Structure 1
Amino acid sequence: MGTPEPDTSERAASGLMPRGSYLLALLVLAGSLILVLLAWYYARERELRAAQARFEAHTAEIADRLDQRLAYYELVARGGTALFASMARPTPQQWADYVGSMSLHPRFPAVKGLGFVGYVSSNRLDDLQIEWRESGYGQLNVRPHGMRARYAPILYLEPRTVENVAVVGLDLFETPAGKEALQSALETGTARLSSPASGDDGALMLFIPVYRAGDRPRTAAARELSMQGWVYLPFDIGRHVDASLGSEYGELGLRIFDVGQGDRLVFARKAADPDALFHHQATLDVYGRRWRLEFDSPPEAVAAPRLKGLENMLALGLFASLLMYGIAWSLARTEDRANVIARRMTEDYRRSEQRFRSSMTYSAIGKALLDSEGRIVEANPALGRIVGSTVESLVGRTFESLFEEGDFSQHDDGVTDADGVHRVTRHLRREGDLPRQAQLTFAPVHGKVGQDITGLVQVEDVTERVRAQARVQALNRTLEARVAMRTRELSQANQELEAFAYSVSHDLRAPLRSIDGFSRVLIERYEHQLDEGGRDYLRRVRKAAMRMGELIDAILQISRLGRAALQRESVDLSRMALEVVDELRAGDPGRELAVRVMPGLAAVGDAALLRNLLGNLLGNAWKFTRGREQAMIEFGAVDLPGDETEFYVRDNGAGFAQVYVDKLFRPFQRLHQQEEFSGHGIGLASVRRIVERHGGRIRAEGREGEGAVFYFTLPEAGEPAAMQSPAPPA
């Protein structure tokens, strides 16, 4: 049980908590409340002004986008005037082709089309209608009917939708909105925008005057004499606003008024919102018209969302004021707790010091504390035993003096980790004893305030360990020398075997040529003196000699595969396989079989050896499918785990029993009779040697009467040097 704490009155009487502290706490509470309220008021006003500035900047950006979009419409219409500059007047088909090439609807969803309004005097109207009818464009019905001094009928309007076809022939001089804009464009020679027509669902029209090719009239009279008509671009104002702003509306209110028409409403997204936080107006001068844009901001929660945060800040400030008031009451208790914590930290420090002293005294590893000059400040008994000295004599000595002279400065090849711990091995100097190896570990540590201690070093005698490692390394070098000697002996034996095979193959050719030559002479000269049996014997002799010659060639081929150096290059295996198949077809033109070669197969290796490999595998498949009515050969590849590719050659020929698969790749081993399938049994042995020389492996799967599959890998499979188009089935 702890001693009971004195109550508040006792502390106040003893001076620990003065009576003025109550008044000070109340003053802190009142002052903090006043400051919080003032800060909240001014922050709210500042945030309202900033929100209004953002709202007005946003409205200016919207107005600018609407104006820029109209400028795009003018550029589209200007393109139509350029067409009139290159010819007197384009035909309807030429106009349709031009408008179709512009892809109006995908680019400008608000645009209803692009057309041409002709400027026709009363004495030219009949000629225009006759010209229209004789050109095959049908009847030009100018409406409304009646005699007028001049007409402005819509002649072209593309694309040819139902709505656009319905307005062709309409005299825009007879529409209030069109007449005003047409007349203004005629008089000024510039682009003009119509006012909104009543009952037209927000449709506006942009007119650009077109003069005779080459004319640039400067006066109104000259413009009327040279006038051909107007390029005409109708568009929907609602879609225009949506396309211009996209998702920029948000919860914004927008209304557009035509000031020249007595504040006539052109477009309204929604009516004026009484709950809007801000209202703003802007004006736009657009092609002879003046628009007034009225904007309504969203309600306060959306237009100035930070105000909600200011309310939270006010609540937090009030809470902080109360908290500060409570802090004044808790200071005394905090002081008591601080004293308790200080006593506990002192006890923890004392125990930590005892643990450190115990680890220094009883550790089997030598330890020493060093100052900034590298002198030993404190050492443990283990260090004295390692260096052969007493602990008292070590204090004050430089740590470097315990090791051979110059060992630190000249051979500092240790390792330092990310924490600054440095490990190194040095030669320990002991008087009257052989040199010993010591493993040193330097770690940065700090002593007490005002105490010159910069590091801790641990010293471990590793002499026996180093000597054991040296003995292991010497044994490894001896083993490496023996392996190298055995490798040379094996290489020499292989070379002698290859030379022997080549020599034997070469020496056997002379007697074989004699046997073949003399047997041929016997047949040619003494054929009539021999009976049928004798002639059959000679033919068998010649056939056996020929067979022997093929075996000799096979032996030479095997020996060459081991001697030649690999010439590695990128090889297109798909194209090489097709070339081999073409050669097989040329040598056996009567065969009918399907060959499928997967396109894009490639590897890095010796092109000549890989050609030999594919020639043997595809040649075997060609040979063993001879008895099939619907023979099939396939060359392809599959992906294995680990980014490895395995190639395969598959056929549906005679196949083989899987129990004899080990005999396939042995030289001169055959699984079929010579009379059934000819061969000398060396092809698959050559294939295996080629694959292994490239560092790959080969395997085979088969069933008697169902075909066989040969799989092989080439470690450096990749893209061919020059990729061709995909190889079609052969």
Structure 2
Amino acid sequence: MGSPEPDITDIRRARFLPRGGYLLALLVLLGALVLVFVSWYYARERELRAAEARFEAHTAEVVDRLYQHLVYYELVARGGTALFASMERPTPQQWADYVDSMNLRARFPEIKGLGYVGYVSSNRLDDLQIEWRESGYGQLNVRPHGMRPRYAPILYLEPRTAENVDAIGLDLLDDPEDEKALQATLDTGVARLGGPSGRRDGALVMLIPIYRGADHPRTAAAREQLLQGWVYLPFDMARYVNSSLGREYDTIGLRIYDARNDGRAIFATRSEPRPESLFHYRTTMEAYGRRWRVEFDSAPEAGAAPRLKGLENMLGLGIVASLLLYGLAWTLARTEDRATVIARRMTEDFRRSEQRFRSSMEYSAIGKALLDSEGRIVEANPALGRIVGRSLESLAGEPFDSLFEDEDASLRSGEEGETDANGIYRVTRHLRREGDLPRQAQLTYAPVQGGVGQDVTGLVQVEDVTERVRAQARVQALNRTLEARVVMRTRELSQANQELEAFAYSVSHDLRAPLRSIEGFSRILIERYESQLDEGGRDYLWRVRKAALRMGELIDAILQISRLGRAELRREQVDLSRMALEVVDELRADDPGRDLAVRIMPGLAAVGDATLLRNLLGNLLGNAWKFTRGREGAVIEFGAFDVPGGETEFYVRDNGAGFAQAYVDKLFRPFQRLHSQETFSGHGIGLASVRRIVERHGGRIRAEGREGEGAVFYFTLPEAGEPGTTPAE
């Protein structure tokens, strides 16, 4: 008895108790997740700072581009001051030609025009209006009306759009922002920005002073006396920003405020900061005497910091990797746990296996012995002692080969006998038993491993097969006797077939001579003595001749059946569809008056003897042709279908006279007919020939029919061999 089997409840409880491996796996998961989240957080903060720096650099570039565009406006306006430097005051036409040459609409679509603002005191305003009217420039209407010490009316403004024409005569000193800008240019002599003004729909203007014959005077009195006017350049703020930045400001929120005028907004792509923006930035811009506060809103997170999406993907991958790591650690812990349980089970299984082996050795009816590396018996079971007629104590330590008469070591080495792929070696040897008849034993050697420190290399099973060997010898002797009898019976059957064929040939040959005499003399009697015979005599002679002809045809039929049995099969690939078409063509040629439909399935083929298969189709299609004579709408079909087992069954169907199914067995017998000779002519051997041909090819044939409704013949032609071979019959 072995140790008791471990309680399965204890094993299950051990599996579900907290284990160090499972705790370690949980710690690995937590540590990996913490590491992943910390790494993701710092990488995200670093990317946010980098994205914010890129955004601020972008805003600085935007401010610089805005300022540079104002510089282009100043250069355009400076061109107008150069024109005034070359002449006292250009005429309106000269000014228009100059502006047209600059192509402002194409180059700077945001600029509304380029003009000249005059500077006159109140006592010279009437003189200016008279001079303007006498020069043919039209009526100069200075607006708004009223008495002021000084006026700064717009005198020129090209191109002459409707808006620019309406602006002629507008006094800029009436607008507070423009007045500040005019005074600033007068004091500094440099360009200044004026506006925006409600009258100009939010437009800004650039103003540059023009002095008579000199640069910017040093004293205020001189500047007041020499000031001729200003070059006037109005531009649209929204178009100015759009032209300066192109499409770039579409991705950011941009707002421009006038810092001097209570923070009034002069431009905004969006009136309020976007809550979805990732960054907000504010800066100031000093440009031509104006101080602007510029505020920026970045795109949402996906556009402002696109790399954050990649970090989120990396976070997801990190979490997945942490879970995989946890799964690996948990699997290792579970494997360790299961290994412990399996080790316990294997210990118990080994004990039970040892018990089963001992029991099989002890109680087996087949002799068994364990052999050491020198072929000596280490242990034997009682059955082996009974087979060799010795006690177990005397067998221990004995060479195993000493128990047999043939002590040739080559038998044990495997040079004789049978050895399989697993090293199992089988051999039959002569057993040595003192005072007993010679006996034979079947030995089976199998390599086995003994315990640690135990010299065991193989297990041999010994079975006394003396009676079995003797029975096999008797069976073999009986088989040899049966084979000799079969050969003798086959030879006798072959001789009998040859004698029958010779007899049939001899009978048919010997019968032809008297038939020829009967037919010949009957013909002579009719030809010579027909006038001397009455009607009855002539009828008798015609019946004799007809019977002789009928008997000749029957003799030919006997010879045909005999030849079918003697002909050698020559197998080849045969196109049955083409062969059936040829048979039908021959039938139509012999009977051209028939009106019937023939349907032949294309692609039908088989392996067989072409001549015999032609005979087969000729008989079946010929019968269908014959038995549909007189049928309205006659139809003949030849086709095939697959049957279970992967076999193809061919069929020939017609809707002719048919037959009673009860007489189907008579169809394939020679000279058996189901219809009278007067109704349908024939010899009764056609279907017998068909059956013989099908059976010679290894197939089978059957028939189905109903009287007056037609018949169908089914047959198979299994591919018993390759084309060109002849199977043994």
TM-score, normalization: structure 1?
0.55
Q: Identify the residue that residue 228 of structure 2 maps to in structure 1.
A: none
Counterpart selection for 1:446 from 444, 449, 460:
449
CA distance in 2, matches of 1:415, 1:349: 29
CA distance in 2, matches of 1:483, 1:449: 62
Select between 710-719 and 649-658 the one with higher mean Cα deviation. 710-719
Q: Identify the residue that residue 305 of structure 1 maps to in structure 2.
A: 316
Counterpart selection for 2:35 from 6, 30, 41:
41
CA distance in 2, matches of 1:48, 1:697: 87
Select between 616-625 and 351-360 the one with higher mean Cα deviation. 351-360
Q: Following TM superposition, by how much is the alpha carbon of 1:453 offset from its aligned partner in structure 2, in angstroms?
A: 1.3
Q: Following TM superposition, by how much is the alpha carbon of 1:412 offset from its aligned partner in structure 2, in angstroms?
A: 2.7
What code does the residue aligned with 1:566 have? L
Judging changes above 3 Å, is the alpha-carbon distance between structure 1 residues 685 and 346 closer, same or farther for their aligned structure 2 residues?
Answer: closer
CA distance in 1, matches of 2:555, 2:330: 105
What percentage of residue pairs aligned between the two structures are identical?
74
Q: Identify the residue that residue 394 of structure 1 maps to in structure 2.
A: 395
Q: Does the 8 Å contact 1:44/1:307 carry over to 2?
A: no
Secondary structure, in 3 states, of the residue corresponding to 1:679? Answer: coil
Counterpart selection for 2:430 from 427, 432, 443:
427
Q: Identify the residue that residue 660 of structure 1 maps to in structure 2.
A: 663
Judging changes above 3 Å, is the alpha-carbon distance between structure 1 residues 278 and 381 closer, same or farther for their aligned structure 2 residues?
Answer: farther
Larger Rg: 2
- The answer to whether the aligner puts 1:414 opposite 2:414 as a matched pair is no
Judging changes above 3 Å, is the alpha-carbon distance between structure 1 residues 44 and 700 closer, same or farther for their aligned structure 2 residues?
Answer: farther
CA distance in 1, matches of 2:35, 2:710: 92
Count of residues in correspondence between the two structures: 456
Secondary structure, in 3 states, of the residue corresponding to 1:498? Answer: helix
Q: Following TM superposition, by how much is the alpha carbon of 1:410 offset from its aligned partner in structure 2, in angstroms?
A: 7.0
CA distance in 1, matches of 2:628, 2:559: 28
Q: Does the 8 Å contact 1:602/1:720 carry over to 2?
A: no
- The answer to whether the aligner puts 1:579 opposite 2:582 as a matched pair is yes
Q: Following TM superposition, by how much is the alpha carbon of 1:378 offset from its aligned partner in structure 2, in angstroms?
A: 2.0
What code does the residue aligned with 2:658 have? G
Q: Following TM superposition, by how much is the alpha carbon of 1:601 offset from its aligned partner in structure 2, in angstroms?
A: 0.7
Structure 2: which 5+ residue stretches go unaligned? Answer: 1-19, 47-105, 108-242, 252-276, 278-297, 725-729
What code does the residue aligned with 2:710 have? G
Q: Identify the residue that residue 125 of structure 1 maps to in structure 2.
A: none
Matches within 5 A, 1:269-418: 274-276=300-302, 298=309, 300-302=311-313, 304-312=315-323, 356-357=357-358, 359-403=360-404, 404-406=406-408, 407-409=411-413, 412-416=416-420, 418=422
Judging changes above 3 Å, is the alpha-carbon distance between structure 1 residues 574 and 718 closer, same or farther for their aligned structure 2 residues?
Answer: farther
Judging changes above 3 Å, is the alpha-carbon distance between structure 1 residues 624 and 375 closer, same or farther for their aligned structure 2 residues?
Answer: same
Secondary structure, in 3 states, of the residue corresponding to 1:688? Answer: helix
CA distance in 1, matches of 2:639, 2:503: 39
Matches within 5 A, 1:559-638: 559-638=562-641
CA distance in 2, matches of 1:605, 1:392: 73
Judging changes above 3 Å, is the alpha-carbon distance between structure 1 residues 434 and 39 closer, same or farther for their aligned structure 2 residues?
Answer: farther
Judging changes above 3 Å, is the alpha-carbon distance between structure 1 residues 312 and 608 closer, same or farther for their aligned structure 2 residues?
Answer: closer
Q: Does the 8 Å contact 1:572/1:602 carry over to 2?
A: yes
Secondary structure, in 3 states, of the residue corresponding to 2:523? Answer: helix
Q: Following TM superposition, by how much is the alpha carbon of 1:354 offset from its aligned partner in structure 2, in angstroms?
A: 6.2
What code does the residue aligned with 1:414 have? E
Secondary structure, in 3 states, of the residue corresponding to 1:534? Answer: helix
Secondary structure, in 3 states, of the residue corresponding to 1:405? Answer: coil
What code does the residue aligned with 2:669 have? R
CA distance in 2, matches of 1:39, 1:596: 80
Matches within 5 A, 1:224-263: none
CA distance in 2, matches of 1:542, 1:317: 106
Q: Does the 8 Å contact 1:657/1:702 carry over to 2?
A: yes
Q: Following TM superposition, by how much is the alpha carbon of 1:678 offset from its aligned partner in structure 2, in angstroms?
A: 0.8
CA distance in 2, matches of 1:720, 1:454: 57
Judging changes above 3 Å, is the alpha-carbon distance between structure 1 residues 277 and 491 closer, same or farther for their aligned structure 2 residues?
Answer: farther
CA distance in 2, matches of 1:669, 1:376: 80
Q: Identify the residue that residue 170 of structure 1 maps to in structure 2.
A: none
Q: Does the 8 Å contact 1:278/1:297 carry over to 2?
A: no
Q: Does the 8 Å contact 1:40/1:314 carry over to 2?
A: no
Judging changes above 3 Å, is the alpha-carbon distance between structure 1 residues 549 and 35 closer, same or farther for their aligned structure 2 residues?
Answer: closer
Listed one character per residue, the Cα deviations across residues 273-323 of structure 1 (whole Å, up to 9, x for unaligned) are 8555996xxxxxxxxxxxxxxx76746554553122245479789999xx9
Secondary structure, in 3 states, of the residue corresponding to 2:680? Answer: coil
What code does the residue aligned with 1:385 have? R
State the Cα RMSD in Å. 4.6
Q: Does the 8 Å contact 1:601/1:720 carry over to 2?
A: no
Q: Following TM superposition, by how much is the alpha carbon of 1:38 offset from its aligned partner in structure 2, in angstroms?
A: 8.1
- The answer to whether the aligner puts 1:705 opposite 2:699 as a matched pair is no
Judging changes above 3 Å, is the alpha-carbon distance between structure 1 residues 313 and 645 closer, same or farther for their aligned structure 2 residues?
Answer: closer
Q: Following TM superposition, by how much is the alpha carbon of 1:471 offset from its aligned partner in structure 2, in angstroms?
A: 1.8
CA distance in 1, matches of 2:507, 2:353: 88
Q: Identify the residue that residue 479 of structure 1 maps to in structure 2.
A: 482
What code does the residue aligned with 1:388 have? G
Q: Identify the residue that residue 525 of structure 1 maps to in structure 2.
A: 528
CA distance in 1, matches of 2:548, 2:672: 19
CA distance in 2, matches of 1:686, 1:370: 71
